[in-house]
Every structure is written in structure tokens, then in C-alpha cells.
Structure 1
Amino acid sequence: MAASSTFCRLNFLPKPPLFRALNFYAHQFRPKWTLPNSSLHNNSLLARVHSSRASILTSTKLCNQTQNVEDDLIVLGIETSCDDTAAAVVRSNGEILSQVVSSQADLLAKYGGVAPKMAEEAHSQAIDQVVQEALDKASLTEKDLSAVAVTIGPGLSLCLRVGVQKARRIAGGFNLPIIGIHHMEAHALVARLIERDLQFPFMALLISGGHNLLILARDLGQYIQLGTTIDDAIGEAYDKTAKWLGLDMRRSGGPAIEELAREGNAESVNFSIPMKQHKDCNFSYAGLKTQVRLAIESKKIDAKIPISSASAEDRVSRADIAASFQRVAVLHLEERCQRAIQWALKMEPSIRYLVVSGGVASNQYVRARLDMVVKKNGLQLLCPPPRLCTDNGVMIAWTGIEHFRMGRYDPPPPAEDPEDFVYDLRPRWPLGEEYAEGRSEARSLRRARIHPSLTSMIQASLQQ
């Protein structure tokens, strides 16, 4: 394993214990950045900070002063956690200078979902062009950037690696700080780019193909997990249902199901709402998927026959199943959100917003139903526009800006990584600590196989 000379917020070299990876490290800023304390430019001081592990506490204090850095940052964000290759350039005043996404819709349609190895190859083929296009659309070059932000987890390891390698090449080649980003935190924080009045604390429901997550965001990097997926996420259930119904998967299952459901009777199939007996805020869609599959088999629906070629009677059956599935799937969201809002208001009575983000948040039916729940509790629903709900580089760049302002970043990596370099990829990486009333013993036993949460790592670094 390659050696590392620094201990930073999210250093890409894993080293036990992981909590040490979050020490904030002082870095000599580029000349265009103005710092309030001129002593930070003192090379001898920086040399001492870099010279030994004992100096890390000093560097923590220095880096916390970067909050006052002149607010004129330009950050490139790179996202390759799953099935889309995305990059964007964002300015710290909130201006989106460019956004580029290369979709893997054809692969999704071919394989009926994400095939990790195929997705990795698609990312590798697209990453250079996507990043270059993002820079070109922003009329910038790498020399104009202040930092590079990249998703390091959660997600598929093979896919994450492509983005991380690209980000490190750029950061190393142009002497740029690099910021490792938590994918789900980025989904939550992008709402602060759209709604600049959104202040902490707030609630967030993050819903996508791989995750369901309910959090209380108390501050930047300080999250309480109210509920999460214990098996399959809602996006996965949408995708599988769409596949079994023979729908066009090139737009993913969510839009296809929502469109077909408009033709159906949502009360026609009596699916049971998941986890009704569990008084927590966790999500489960595996059982609902099984119910849907059995209903499809009972109607003798052949997924090999696309919906466009189905008979009128067959189409009605498919539409009824789609509508009934969607109703129950979203009812599960509603019940969990209702309970989570009650929990969150006990802890933070000043909460005013529920942010709903992630790919499934583009679903208009989902938004409308959740808006009813939120208004009933005296809150406001805040959803980013659809182009910022699905995986994108803007949310990564913006989250990088937020953390960079707090001094949480890694210094520039080497221009070239050694062949034996081990990248710090975090496929399973919780965002926050579990709320006591929502803790599940079975889920807690899985902790040994996952990274410590982002929140716990930041808290540990602040205590050093």
C-alpha cells in the first residue's frame, strides 16, 4: 500500500482507525485566495504543520479559519456512484456554470437494471469526455478551478473508482485540493443551492434506486438517521415492477410506472402496506416486490411482450397493477415520514422544511402525496428540480463547496498514484448516527461490515 504523508478529512488512503482520517489539514492556498490571517502563508509554519503527526491539532485550528476565505470558489464535481456519469462546474455563489450527464439508459434497458461491470466500462468510456464537456461549457480549464469534489461512497465500488481516479488525476496534475463526498449528503444539500434561505436544522427524505433515507440535518456534517432501507429501496421496487410489466426501461422504472399508473385503478389490487406492525421509520420494499410479482403471474402477464404490443385487456391489467403498486409504495413513504416528522420536531422544534431528493423525488405522484403529509404537520416541502434530483455533478460540486468553506478537504494528491495505491472507496457508508427509537438490532449488527458514518467521523475529528 502506498504511504500517505497527510491525515485529512477524507483521505483516499484508508488507515485504521478510520476516525483519524478526518483531521482537518492545513494546505497552502493558491495565490488568488485571500486569507484573513497572513501567517497562513508562512512557509516555515506550513512546513512544521506538514512535518509530523503531532502537529495535526495545530492544523485543525488553522483550517477552521478557511470559513472566511473570499467567497469566490469554482469547484468541479464528479459523480460515478452508479449508472450515470456526471460532471458539473459550480461557483460558490450558487451559479451553475455547467452540468453534463451521460446516461446508461440503454444498458438499463438491456439488463433490466444496473450491471456493475457493464456500468464500470460505460463510466470508463465516458468520464474523460463528460468532464471535458463540463469544463468547455463553463468556458474554463482545470487551471481556473479552486478544487475538485468527487463521490467516494456509498455506491458500487467499480463505478466509484472511475470517478475517484479521474478526480485525482485532475487534482494532482493541477495542484488542486480534493474533496471526498458522501453521495446521500449531496442529495440533501443540493436543496441549499436551490433555496438559499434553507438553514439548518431541516429534515430530508432521500429516495432513489439504492437508498431510502430519512434524516434530521442539524448542521453541515451533523445528521441523525431516523430511518433507512432494511432491504430494497423504493427505486429498486419501481424498476423491478416496470421490468416485470414489460415497460420501457430506457427512462428507468419510475417514470414508466407513473405514466402507466394514470390509466389504472389504484384500488384494484389489494397489496398490503409494508411494515405496518413496526413503529419505526425504516423502509422495506422486498415484500411488496414479491406481492407484485405474484399478482403479475396470476394475471399471466408476459414481460417479453412490451406494453406497446399488449392487448387492450392485458394493458388494463398492467395499468391496474402499476397504479396499485404505486399507491402502496408511496403510502409506505407517507407513514414513515409522518412518524419521522414527529420525532424530529421533538428534537428540533424550529424545523420548517422537509427536503425530498433523489431520483424518485422526480415522481409527481410522490411529491403530491408527501406535500399533503408535510402541510398537515405545518412544514413546507422542498424538492430540487428533476435534473438535480437524479444523480448529477452539481450536487457533488456544491457539497464540496460547503465542506471546503469549513476547511474539510484533502490537499492535492501526487501527480500520479503508485501502481499499488489503494483507493478509499466506501460502498456502504452511513450518513448519520441512528436515532435511538429507530434502531434495529439486526441492522446494528451489520456495522462491522460498513464504514463509520460521516457524522461520527467528523465528530471524532472535532474532539481531537
Structure 2
Amino acid sequence: MLILGIETSCDETAAAVVRNGRDVLSDVVASQIAVHSPYGGVVPELASRKHVEAIVPVVGQAVDRAGCSLHDLDAVAVTQGPGLVGALLVGLSAAKGLAYALNKPLLAVNHLEGHMEAAFLDKDRPQVPFICLVVSGGHTSLYHVSPDGTSRCVGHTRDDAAGEAYDKVAKLLGLGYPGGVIIDRLAQRGNPIAFEFPRSRLEKGSLDFSFSGIKTAVAYFVKRYGSPGEEGHGEAPYRLEDLAASFQEAVVDVLVEKTLQAAERYGVGHVALAGGVAANSRLRRRMEEECAYRRLQLHVPSVRHCTDNAVMVAAAGYRLWLRQGFTPDPLELDAVSRLP
């Protein structure tokens, strides 16, 4: 089955053509980083306008690079939510228009399910049940995937998502956007135990997350000791690299610890990691080490497929079709910013 995937949930306009949920024929992403960098984060109105400008050429490039025509497609898959509602509407409108004009079925995909599918694009699918950590700028959640293929959220963030904490700390330090990439790069040259930042584990036995506390701790730290400079430059009596590494270690500690707790609690042998923060080098290394020690099989996407992309949407659409067929009355679909 040949599926065109379309993704516009946040600040990247993406389209891809995938055969049978695994064979990637094309993968096109138009990034908006340059647009949002001056603001230190995504501006929803600007994101929607850029999606409108990019959606037609991006879809055209994806089809051309796949070596097929629009009429060769068997279905169109699109992100319905969660995400920025204005951004979602652009992709959803384009997908509905294509499906109607070409008389092709439409598949409405949950963005988080797409991220979960990305973990299995380059590898065999894990044995079910398994635990999946989806961690990004907007989401930090743990899912237990049952033998029947359905997933249930068993832990989620109660405030900031991990990626959101990265971006806010980067903005506080004047590092630019996207903050996660910059902090990860700096942390590789820093000492992760230079400073002790809090690890919020919440009540005993909880699989939920909280990252607002560490963000506040970094803010108080900088207020007390001053703004740092890279490689020891600046007035503060510490290195920016050490601050970045210590902050990152605190976040990664909690992400890894909660994921392994969930794996033990539910007695699974496989763990998956997905979402934009899954590209973080320290998180990937720590998760690999800890899973190997506990003899758990880890599934991680390629770095390219950690961030928002349309390959994961097409793959999730194929999986959705296997489970329940095509969406009834597809032209009645609407964007859902907080799709559960």
C-alpha cells in the first residue's frame, strides 16, 4: 500500500511517501527554525502562515522524489492532533482536498502514535507488550502498549514537558532556539556532576513527570551567580558547559528512571524511545546503557525521525488501516489540538 503522509502539527511542514508502513520512498521536511529563532520559541500565527506557503511545494516534492504520481497513491494520512490548531488545519485541509480530488481514502493519525511508530522504522517491531517514552517539546508521557496493540498512558508530565524545559532554560541563558540541540552540544563539553539540580520524582511509585522545578532552580542559580560564558569566558564563576551538562543530567536521570520503573512494573522486555528529545545524545546513551544492563531490548528512531516528520505519519496511517480500515466520512474530520 502506497501512503502519502502529511505532518503540520507545529513548526515543520512535512510530506513523505511510504510503502506498506516501512519502505520510505521520499521524506521532505521544510523547517521553520529561522522564522521562530528570534522569538526563542514557536509563534503559532507565524507557523500557520509558513505552513500555508510550504504545503503545496512540499507535497509536490515528496511525490516527485518517490517516483510516482498522485494517482498512484492508495491513501493519504495526515496528523489530526494534538498540536497547534492553526497549524493542524493547514495539513488537514490539504489532505482532505487531495483525498476528495483524487477519490482516495483518508487516514487521521494521532501525532503521538506517529512518534511511537518512528521507533520501529529501521528495526523489527518489538514484541508486545512494551513501554514507550514519548518525549518532546510538547509531550512527556509513558505508554504501555498491550498485546492487542492498543496503548494506555501510564505516566505523563504534570507541568512542563522535558523539551519545553530545555527551550525555556536555553532562552533564560540567551542560547537561542531550538534550545535542546544547543544545550546538548554544550553539555558534551561539560561536567554533568558540577552542580546538583533537583530531580522531581513526585510521590512514591508515581510514573508522572515534573520539570518546572528544575527550570526554576536554574533560574535561581543564574540569578545568584550571574550569567555564564562559554569556555569559562564571562563574569560568572562557572562554565556554561558545566551548567548545561548538570541541567541535562538531572532531566535525563528522571526520564530514564521512570521508564525503567514502568518496564519493571508491567513486566515487559522491550522499551521504545520516541519524540524530538529522543535525539538527545545523553538520553540515548543512558537509555542504551541501562537497558543493556537490565537485558531490555531498546528501540530508538534514527535522529532524523525523532523530530516531527511525515514518514512517521504515513507509517502510523498504515498501522491504523491494518487495525480498523479507513476513516468513515473523512471530509467531516476536524483538527483536535488536544487529541488524547
Alignment TM-score > 0.5, same fold: yes
Quote the offset at 1:262 in angstroms: 2.3
Contact 2:207 2:262 in 1 (8 A): yes
Deviations 1:48-68 (A, max 9, x none): xxxxxxxxxxxxxxxxxxxxx
Deviation at 1:198, TM superposition (A): 2.5
Q: Report the residue type matching 2:182 in the other structure.
A: A
1:354 matched residue in structure 2: 271
Matched, 1:291 2:217: yes
Determine helix, strand or coil for the equivalent of 1:390: coil
Give distance in 2, aligned partners of 1:168 and 1:316: 54
Contact 2:5 2:15 in 1 (8 A): yes
Map of 2:45 onto structure 1 = 117
User: Offset at 1:247?
Assistant: 1.6
Partner residue, 2:335: 425
Q: Deviations over 1:372-407 (max 9, x none)?
A: 332233202111101111110000001111111234
1:243 aligned partner: 171
In structure 2, C-alpha distance between the alignment counterparts of 1:242 and 1:220, rounded to whole Å: 41
**Which residue does 1:434 correspond to in 2?**
none
The structural deviation recorded for 1:314 is 4.8
- Tell me which structure has the larger Cα radius of gyration: 1
Hey, what's the Cα distance between the residues in 2 that align with 1:99 and 1:319?
34
| Residue aligned with 1:199, SS | coil
| Count of paired positions | 340
User: What is the aligned-residue RMSD (CA, Å)?
Assistant: 2.1
Moved more, 388-397 or 367-376: 367-376
Who is 1:41 aligned against?
none
Pairing of 1:317-356 with structure 2 (within 5 A): 317-345=239-267, 351-356=268-273
| Cα shift at 1:200 | 2.5
C-alpha distance in 2, partners of 1:363/1:93?
Answer: 25
Please give the per-residue CA displacement for 1:399-422, whole angstroms capped at 9, x wherever unaligned. 1111112343225756xxxxxxx7
Q: Which runs of structure 2 are paired with 1:51-66 in the superposition (5 Å)?
A: none
Question: What is the identity, as a one-letter code, of the residue corresponding to 2:143?
Answer: I
Distance 1:214 1:143 in 2: 39
CA distance in 2, matches of 1:255, 1:226: 28
The AA in structure 2 aligned to 1:425 is: A
Q: Secondary structure at the match of 1:176?
A: coil
Letter in 1 for 2:254: H
Structure 1 equivalent of residue 91 of structure 2: 163
Counterparts of 1:378 and 1:105, CA distance in 2 = 39
Distance 1:197 1:384 in 2: 12
Deviations 1:105-135 (A, max 9, x none): 1123111111111111111111111111101
In structure 2, do the counterparts of structure 1 residues 329 and 228 end up closer, same or farther at CA, with 3 Å as the change threshold? same
Q: Percent identity?
A: 39
Note the alpha carbon deviations across 1:134-185, whole angstroms, 9 max, x for none: 0111122210100000001111111111110000010000001000001111
Q: Please identify, of 216-225 and 107-116, the stretch whose mean Cα deviation from structure 2 is larger.
A: 216-225
Q: Of 269, 274, 285, which aligns to 2:195? A: 269
1:78: Cα distance to partner?
0.5
Q: Conserved in 2, the CA contact under 8 Å of 1:260 and 1:323?
A: yes
Q: Distance in 2 between matches of 1:223 and 1:411?
A: 22
The 3 A distance-change label for structure 1 pair 121 and 219 is: farther
Q: Are 2:206 and 1:206 aligned?
A: no
Classify the secondary structure of the residue corresponding to 1:287. helix
The 1:93–1:238 alpha-carbon spacing in structure 2 relative to 1, beyond 3 Å, is closer
How far residue 275 of structure 1 moved from its aligned partner, in angstroms, is 2.8
Answer yes or no: is 1:311 the counterpart of 2:237: no
Deviation at 1:327, TM superposition (A): 0.8
Please state how far the C-alpha of 1:338 moved relative to its aligned partner: 2.3
Residue 294 of structure 2: aligned partner? 377
Paired letter, 1:284: S
Q: Is the 8 A contact 1:176 1:411 kept in 2?
A: no
CA gap of 1:368–1:154, structure 2 versus 1, over 3 A, is same
Residue matched to 2:180: 254
Q: One-letter code of the match for 2:193?
A: E
What do the CA deviations read for 1:202-246 (whole angstroms, capped 9, x no partner)? Answer: 221111000011111115651121211111110001111112222
Amino acid at match of 2:92: V
User: Which residue of 2 is the match for residue 194 of structure 1?
Assistant: 122
Deviations 1:353-381 (A, max 9, x none): 21101111111100111223322332021
Q: Secondary structure at the match of 1:354?
A: strand
AA at the equivalent of 1:358: G
For 2:125 and 2:86, the matched residues in 1 are separated by 37
Question: 2:241 corresponds to which letter in structure 1?
Answer: A
1:22 aligned residue: none
In 2, are the aligned partners of 1:175 and 1:412 still within 8 Å (CA)?
no
- Aligned with 2:307 (options 390, 402, 409): 390
Cα deviation for residue 288 of structure 1 reads: 1.0
> What 5-or-longer segments of structure 2 have no aligned partner?
none
Q: Please give the alpha-carbon distance, in whole angstroms, between the structure 2 residues aligned to 1:310 and 1:144.
A: 58
Distance 1:315 1:129 in 2: 50
Counterpart-to-counterpart distance in 2, 1:189 and 1:219:
16
Assess, with a 3 A threshold, how the Cα gap between structure 1 residues 159 and 310 changes in structure 2: closer, same or farther: farther
2:27 aligned to which of 95, 99, 114: 99
Provide closer, same or farther for how the CA distance between residues 314 and 214 of structure 1 changes in structure 2, counting only shifts above 3 A.
Answer: same
Task: Please give the TM-score of this superposition, normalised by the length of structure 1.
Answer: 0.69
Specify the alignment match of 1:215 in structure 2.
143
